[in-house]
Structure formats: structure tokens, C-alpha cells
Structure 1
Amino acid sequence: MKVLVLWPPHVPSYFNAGHHISTFLTAGHLRTLDAVDSVRAIDAGALNYTWKELGDLLFQERFDVIAVINDFDNVDDLPRLLKYVRTLSPGTKVVTAGRLSAQSPLSFREFDLDAVVVGGGDPEAGVAAYVRHLAEPSGPPPAGVALRGQDPAQAPAGLFLRPDAWVLPDVTEIPYEAYERLYQRDQNKFCGIPQRRELVVPAARGCPVNCSFCEVPTFQGLKDRRLTVERTLGYIEESFARHPFEYVAFYAPTFTLDRKWTAHLCRELIARGSKYPWKCATTIAHLGDELLDLMARSGCVRVSVGVETLDPAGHDALPRLKRLEQERYERLAASCARLGVELNCFVIVGLPGTTVAGTAHTAHTIRAAQGRVRPTVYSSMDRLRAAASPEEAAAFNRQLLHPDDVPDAETAQSLYGLVYGREDWVTPVTERVPQRGTDAVPERSTESLERAR
């Protein structure tokens, strides 16, 4: 069986290389299946594919299966993609999996899809289950998959893979040079560090914090699953030996949730000379001065945390452990400043209960303490899960206020000013990440080489 794993062409509203890694995790997992002869993985979004290029690929290759990785903002052109597939390669089966279908499987019923991987399991496990189903149609129904015409609620439960079953991405097929370009303008408030090459390490999945505005509990489960420290370090060392990476981005919902694991990793990095600058995301509740000091000594240059709001009026919309007093934030910010670790703070604009003034005060307090503000617009995952159409699901894009949540026009514009208003501040972290020597010539990704021919 010949398979294409595709992140589809689209105009991104936000970019995080960690989200795109699902494309290559899925491809790697499919390569372990006996029923699969070949797999190509293409991030057509980051590579700025044209529809002509995609048409050439579909017509010339005639894949047996295309697995489309879906996300919150990449399905706007899904009908066009499916039209091209049905016209240029009519025998191809199309399955989709990703963050959006895990939250809102009902909204995919209108698309011309053969299967949808729904919530309650890892995306690569769902795609693999569908491929096995095509190879052996008489077998049991594919776990975590709604077949064409099937009610997603009736799909069998999916499978959350053990970490030792994760097939870590092959860095030579990931278009890291394209990702680097997307991070160049720091004012976009994307997650990467400008002018430096990032290695994404998918270290952990799952989170028990269970915020109502976060997709992780449905997409990855409430239980923390993570690689061993030894496998994590092995992947970093191997990847840096193969490609001119300059820092590590640990892709994990709550990186320091397992403090013993984190401390073990830090000590091992220190023993290796702290030669890999790195960043992570976690919660303030899962940090402490002792752990933060160890992280800084091991090479940590940025910690992203969900501040969400410092406005007490918004605390009812947050889990108890994320209800943050300003004094507590300022203590953490002072520790980060002392240790040379940038504090990247997620702030939710339009969080229920908050005001424009309260949100503006949150942003001002963060900046005054030398923090980086990364704003996003509130979206309720509970309401997204009930969305029954693509149009309903698109309203929860974290870029615009949901129509039902829009206040008066003046207030709405003030809120948008907090997200889209001009800010000239640029992260100083770039200077803390050494550049590789000029003799380190980037090894271009497989797909980049294909397009250059």
C-alpha cells in the first residue's frame, strides 16, 4: 500500500512546529505496518505548496491512501483538496486525523472523506487502524475511526499509544528551513526563536490539568505519557549530529508535570556540558525555584506558562491551580530574570469574567516584569465539541471572538487591539542561543530536495 501523509496547503493563522510534527510521527508509525509498502510525508502548508504542485503529485503518484492531518485553521480548503483528489486520483482513499477532528468530529460529516479519526486515541494509531482495515476489511472495526456514513459517536474507542511505541520523526524529511522562516518575525508571537534552527522533541503527551479552553485532554488524554530520559537525550544527540540545529523545543503539554523526570533530564544535560539550549511549556504550579535553577543550569532559555489572566474576575473560568495572584507571578518572573530564563506568558483575551482593563493590566504586568506576552482569543472546547458543521467549528479559531461572545463594537475593538495592536518588543533570547559555525551546511529535507529537482 502506498500512503501519503499530508499537512494540507493553507494560510496559517498561527504556527507551532510541534503541531506539525504529527505529520511525521504518523508517517513513521505507518512505516512499521506490514500492509504499507511506502510512505511520503509532506508539510504542504509550511512549504507553501501551490495547487498545481499538489495536482502533479496526486496525478503522478496515485496514492492508495492519503492521511490528511487536520488542525484548527487548516481545513478551510479541505473541500478543494478533496475535489483534486477525487478528480486526479479517483481510486485514493482519504482519512483525516488531528487536533480538530479529535474535538469536533461532527463537523467533518459534510466533507467527502472515507474516514475520520475521532477523539479518544492518538492520531497515528487511528490512521494505522484504518490502513489495517483497508488491508483486511473482514477484520474488526478500526479503533478510533468513523467510516464514511458512520455516526462518530458510534466509532470504537481509540488507542493511546505507549511512549515506547512512538516512532520519533526523521529530521531529514521535516522542512525545518521552512519552519525557521515562519519564526523570523517575532511580533507574530509564534513559539519559535527568530534566526535560530529549532529541533522539536515530542517528549510527552497528555495533561491532567484539564483546562476548558485546551484541546489536550481530548486529543492526548488526561494521563501524562512521556519518553524515557535516555531516549529523549538519544534523539537530541542523534538529531544534532545529522542537522545544524541550534536549540531544542520540548513539545509537551506540561513539561515539568513529572518533576523527578525533569530533574533527571536536567542533570544529564548538565553532565553533557549544557550544550543544548532549550525551551518548554508548563504551568506555574509545576515550577519552583529549585527546579527552575536546575533547568537554567542545564540550558533552559525560555519557559512558556499559561498565565491566562491576572484579573481575579476571570478565575472562575480557570482550574484552581491556575488561579494566579499577581504577587506570585512577579516572584516567578523575578526568579526567571535572575536566572536568565525568558518567561513567555500565554494570555487569553475574552476569557469569561474578564474585562478589557483587566486583560490590559495582565499584559502590562507581564511586560513590566520582563516577560513576553503571547495573546490568544478565548475558545471553549466544550462548545467546539458540539459543533455540527465546518462553519460552526471555524468560529472557534482562537483568532476572532466567537459570534456569541462578541460584546459591543467598541469593546470588541479594544480586545482585538490587545491581540493585533502593534508591539515592537523583540525577544532577547536569540542572543542566548549560539549559532552553529558557518561550516555547518544545512542538510535539506527530502521534500525540499524533491521540489528543487
Structure 2
Amino acid sequence: MRVLFVLPKRFHFDKNLLAKYTVWGETFDYVRRRCDVEAELLDCDLGWVTQRHLIEQLVTRHHDVVVIWSASVADVPASLEVCQLVKELSPETKVMAYGDGPIYAAKLFRHAEFDAIFSDGDPEFAIASYLRHVSNPSSCGGAGRRVANVELLVDGQYVAPGPPELTPPDQWGFPPIDALPIDEYQAYYRNKYSHEKRLYPADVLSVTVSRGCTYRCHYCPTPLREGRKDRRRPVDQLVGWLEGVAERFSQVHLSSPIFTGDPLWVHEFCRALLDRAIQLQWRTTVRVDQLDEPLVKLMAEAGCKTLLFGVETLYSERPEAAEKADVGQLTAVSALLRRYGVRGKAFVMLGMPGQLRADILHTIATLRSMDLVVRPSGYTPLHHLHKMTVEELLQADLEQYDKKSFYNPATGLSKREFFQLLLRNDPEER
């Protein structure tokens, strides 16, 4: 069986190359190791890749299944275009989609008659289950059988999946360095026009550490995508892999909804890095209310250079209504980070319900006064999409729903001010 993994092309506000190593690359790695398939990656998001490259794959090479990573809702229009192209040029090829796109806009994927649509559970488990079904449906209970984590199109109707299935963390894939276009990704980081050039070294890599989040932030896709239970790779397995890539990559982003969600695991991980004397800088995402001095000191000693955390918003007139951390907590943590040479990066949302222009300016000024790097993003009401009809979704400008550049005029910020805040350069984070 031949499988083509496709990332569609769209016009980004910013590119997120780190997710290409994890949500895309690690999924691919799991499938090629666990399934009897010949699998390829085609990153149409690369600057030099044109429609010709995709058409050439569809016309000159037979693929049994094309798996489209609709990474965000903003990628949905491009994903639908790729599906239509596949159906026109290679009608015998099955088309499957996974990612945040089908999580929030499944109605559009049904409308476009995708053969398989990721629903919930872990995506690599979904893809592997579907490929086994395509390879031998009779051995799996027939064409109408439910496929784990997948809505399956059967005779014009979608068959709902059974209970969601999760992949054991010790079976998660790793970034397939041999298959990803690493040189092109590093060239993007070196490009003088790249915004990310000042954020990361060219040889940055990302790997999944944990999945799942117990918190219930309505604007975050993580619980829908990964569930609410914290799940983590075995420390020995992860540290062994990091040791193997340390000579090629100078910095690794440890992808985790909340790295500090399991303090015992964090201590074991940091001690393992120190015991093996692995010289590798790393960064990760944490919660401010989970940081204390012994933990920050240990992480810094183990190579941590940047900690990222959500603040979302402070309120100029209602300090007690802070979204995730109050000024006192942030002041204490920023002092800790400076003491141990760790850069702090605060995520801020512009356009949250009830948030005003004065709150936004107060939040950014307060955080910058603490020597924190501020990353503003437009609050994106993804949860509203579930309520929309197919017709409303088709009329909506879904490319705005990129979790970055969605503009809400209700705050009182002009659109120019909004983008000025998004574009303002902070000190280099690297």
C-alpha cells in the first residue's frame, strides 16, 4: 500500500515549523513503523513546492491513500481543494484528513465527501486503523465496520467511530529526520525575511514530550485534540533519543501542553540529562503557578533556556480577574527566570470576551516591564464553529481562524493598532 501525507499550501501570517516535526512528522513516523506501507511526505507549504509537484504525484504515481494534515481551521479551504484535486485526478485513491481542521469543521469535510475524517483519540492510531481497513476490510468485519477514531464514509453515509483509542506514549513516533525536508526548514529560519529567524536558531528541532491537558480553556484545541489526561513519554526513551540528535541540533523545543504538569517526571528528566552530560539547549511550555525556585534552578542546570507560558490578559481596572496569572505571581516568576538565566515568553490574547483596549495595552506594558518576551495573538473563537451550518462555514473566512491574526474590533483597538502589536519586535528570544 502506498500512502502520501500532504500538508496543503496557504498564505500564512506566521509559519509554525515546529508542529511539522511533531503533529505531522511523528504521526508519519508511527504509521511507517507500524503499518505495512510505503509512505511519503509532501510539504506543499515549502516555498519552492508548486501545484505541479502535487499533480505529478497524483498523475504519475499510484497512491492508495492520501492523508491530508489540516493543521488548523485556516488550512481547511486548502485541504478541501487538495481533496477535490485528488478525486478528479486519481478517483481510486482514498482521501483522509486529520488535524484541527476536521476537529472544528467536520461538517465541511463531510460535505466534501472525504473517505475518512479524524474524529478524536490519537491521530496516528486513527490513520493506522484506517489504512488497515483499506488494506483488508473483510478481515476487520466488513465495509461497514467502525474504525477507531475515524468517521468512515460507507455507501454515501458516515459511520461514527467507536470509543476513542489512544496510543501508548512509548509507541509515539519521533520526528523522522531522514524523511522531513530538514534543510529547507533550516533555510527558512536563516532567511533574512523570516520573522522566526530572531526567535530560533536555524537548527532548532521539536519533539513531543507529553499530550493532554486537564485545564478547560474554552479557546484551546488541546483537550479536543489530545484529551484531558496528562500522558508522557518514558524518560529513558526520550533522553536516549535526545542524546542521539544533540550533535546535529543545538536547541530542541519540548512540545507539551504543560511541561510542569508532572513535577516528578520533570525532576527525573532533568536529572537524566545532567547524569548523561547531554549538552543541549531546550525550551518548553509551562504554567506560572507551577514554578518554584528549586524547579526553575534544576531546569536551567539541565539546559532550559526559554520557558513559555500563557497569561492571555490582565485587567487594568480588575486585577483580580487575571486570566491565568496575577501580577504578583508574574513578578516573582520573572525574577526567578532572570536569576537563573532563563528567558520568559508570555502568550497574550487580543480580543478576548470583555477585554478592552486599555486592558490589552496594560497587559503588554506590564509584562515588558518584567523583561518578559511578549507574544500577542488574536483571540480566535474556534468553539463557535461547531454551531455553524455547512452554508455558514462555506461563507465564513476560515483563513482568519489561524490562532494568530483574528481581529475583534469590539476591544476598541483599530485594525492597524492590532497588527502593530502583533508585529512589534521584542528582544531576541534565542
TM-score in terms of structure 2 length = 0.88
Alpha-carbon distance change, 388 to 137 in structure 1, aligned in 2, over 3 angstroms: farther
Paired residue type of 1:411? L
- Determine whether 1:56 maps to 2:56: yes
| d(CA) in 2 for partners of 1:71, 1:277 | 27
Whether the aligned pair in 1 keeps the contact of 2:315 and 2:321 (CA below 8 Å) is: no
Whether the aligned pair in 1 keeps the contact of 2:377 and 2:422 (CA below 8 Å) is: no
Alpha-carbon distance change, 296 to 122 in structure 1, aligned in 2, over 3 angstroms: same
Q: Give the superposition deviation at 1:106.
A: 2.1
Alpha-carbon distance change, 325 to 189 in structure 1, aligned in 2, over 3 angstroms: farther
| d(CA) in 2 for partners of 1:76, 1:209 | 30
Partner of 2:148: 143
| d(CA) in 2 for partners of 1:57, 1:310 | 50
Q: Give the superposition deviation at 1:151.
A: 5.0
SS in structure 2 of the partner of residue 171 of structure 1: coil
Partner of 1:373: 374
Instruction: Give the RMSD, CA atoms, in angstroms.
Output: 2.7
Partner of 2:279: 275
Alpha-carbon distance change, 355 to 426 in structure 1, aligned in 2, over 3 angstroms: same
Alignment of 1:53-202 (within 5 A): 53-72=53-72, 73-118=74-119, 120-138=120-138, 139=141, 140-148=145-153, 149-151=156-158, 154-184=160-190, 193-202=199-208
| d(CA) in 2 for partners of 1:239, 1:200 | 11
Q: Give the superposition deviation at 1:33.
A: 4.3
Partner of 2:45: 45
| d(CA) in 2 for partners of 1:187, 1:291 | 37
Whether the aligned pair in 2 keeps the contact of 1:356 and 1:415 (CA below 8 Å) is: no
Match of 2:413 among 405, 411, 414: 411
Note the alpha carbon deviations across 1:289-340, whole angstroms, 9 max, x for none: 210111111111000000111227788998xxx5321121111111111211
Match of 1:398 among 403, 412, 415: 403
Partner of 1:439: none
| d(CA) in 1 for partners of 2:354, 2:414 | 15
Whether the aligned pair in 2 keeps the contact of 1:207 and 1:223 (CA below 8 Å) is: yes
| d(CA) in 1 for partners of 2:6, 2:277 | 38
Partner of 1:442: none
| d(CA) in 2 for partners of 1:196, 1:95 | 32
Whether the aligned pair in 1 keeps the contact of 2:246 and 2:280 (CA below 8 Å) is: no
| d(CA) in 2 for partners of 1:233, 1:261 | 12
Alignment of 1:298-337 (within 5 A): 298-311=302-315, 323-337=324-338
Q: Give the superposition deviation at 1:177.
A: 2.9
Structure 2: 5+ residue stretches without partners: none
| d(CA) in 1 for partners of 2:212, 2:158 | 26
Partner of 1:250: 254
- Determine whether 1:354 maps to 2:355: yes
| d(CA) in 1 for partners of 2:194, 2:352 | 21
| d(CA) in 2 for partners of 1:19, 1:302 | 18
| d(CA) in 1 for partners of 2:92, 2:321 | 48
SS in structure 2 of the partner of residue 305 of structure 1: strand
| d(CA) in 2 for partners of 1:367, 1:40 | 44
| d(CA) in 2 for partners of 1:39, 1:8 | 17
Structure 1: 5+ residue stretches without partners: 431-453
Q: Give the superposition deviation at 1:279.
A: 0.3
| d(CA) in 2 for partners of 1:206, 1:186 | 36
